[in-house]
Chains A and B, each alone.
Chain A
Amino acid sequence: MIMAKPKPMDEIINDIKDFAKVLIVGCNGCVTVCEAGGLKEVEALTSALRIHFMHKGKKAQIDGMSITRQCDKEYLHELADKMDSYDAVLSLACGAGIQFMAEMYGKKPVFPGVDTCFIGVTEDQGVWSERCQACGQCVLSSTGGICPIARCSKRMLNGPCGGSEKGKCELSVLLNRDIPCGWHLIYERLKTFKQLDRFAQPAADKDWSTSREGGPREIIREDVRP
Chain B
Amino acid sequence: MRLNYPANVRIVKLPCTGRVNITHLLRALEQGADGVMVAGCLEGDCHYQAGNLRARKRVNKVQQILESIGADPGRVAMYNLSAGMGPRFAEIVRDMTEKVRQLGPSPVRTALVGKEIAA
In this complex, the member of B23, B65, B107 whose beta carbon has the largest number of chain A beta carbons within 10 angstroms is B23
Q: How far is the CB of A2 from chain B (nearest CB, A)?
A: 23
Contacts of B66 in A (CB 8 A): 48, 51
Contacts of B53 in A (CB 8 A): none
Say yes or no: B108 contacts A54, CB within 8 Å: yes
Q: Check: B69 CB closer than 8 A to any chain A CB.
A: yes
Say yes or no: A55 contacts B30, CB within 8 Å: no
Say yes or no: A10 contacts B68, CB within 8 Å: yes
Question: Binding site of B, secondary structure by majority: helix, strand, loop or mixed?
Answer: helix
Q: Check: A115 CB closer than 8 A to any chain B CB.
A: no
- Give chain B's interface residue range (CB within 8 Å of chain A): 10 to 19
Say yes or no: A52 contacts B69, CB within 8 Å: yes
Q: Check: A63 CB closer than 8 A to any chain B CB.
A: no
Contacts of B21 in A (CB 8 A): 40
Distance, CA A8 to CA B112, complexed state (A): 27
Contacts of B70 in A (CB 8 A): 52, 55-56
Q: Check: B111 CB closer than 8 A to any chain A CB.
A: yes
Say yes or no: A48 contacts B65, CB within 8 Å: yes
Distance, CA A85 to CA B26, complexed state (A): 25
Contacts of B27 in A (CB 8 A): 47
Q: Check: A79 CB closer than 8 A to any chain B CB.
A: no
Say yes or no: A55 contacts B65, CB within 8 Å: no
Q: CB within 8 A of B68: which of A9, A47, A57?
A: A9
Q: CB within 8 A of A55: which of B23, B26, B108?
A: B108
Q: Check: A87 CB closer than 8 A to any chain B CB.
A: no
In this complex, the member of B68, B69, B108 whose beta carbon has the largest number of chain A beta carbons within 10 angstroms is B69
Distance, CA A13 to CA B112, complexed state (A): 21
Contacts of B112 in A (CB 8 A): 54
A42 to chain B: closest residue by CB: B23
Say yes or no: B23 contacts A40, CB within 8 Å: yes
Q: Check: B29 CB closer than 8 A to any chain A CB.
A: yes
Contacts of B30 in A (CB 8 A): 47, 50-51, 54
Say yes or no: A51 contacts B23, CB within 8 Å: no
B118 to chain A: closest residue by CB: A59
State which residues 35-73 of A face B: CB under 8 Å. Answer: 40, 43-44, 47-52, 54-57
Distance, CA A54 to CA B23, complexed state (A): 17
Contacts of B65 in A (CB 8 A): 9, 44, 48
Q: How far is the CB of A221 from chain B (nearest CB, A)?
A: 41
Starting from the known contacts A51-B108, A55-B111, 20 additional A-B residue pairs (CB-CB under 8 Å) come to A9-B65, A9-B68, A40-B21, A44-B22, A47-B23, A47-B26, A47-B30, A48-B66, A48-B68, A48-B69, A51-B29, A51-B66, A51-B71, A52-B70, A52-B71, A54-B30, A54-B107, A54-B111, A56-B70, A57-B107
Can you report 26 A-B residue pairs in the complex whose CB atoms are below 8 A from each other? A8-B68, A9-B69, A40-B21, A40-B23, A43-B23, A44-B23, A44-B65, A47-B23, A47-B26, A47-B27, A47-B29, A47-B30, A48-B26, A49-B69, A51-B30, A51-B66, A51-B69, A52-B69, A52-B71, A54-B107, A54-B111, A54-B112, A55-B69, A55-B71, A57-B107, A57-B111
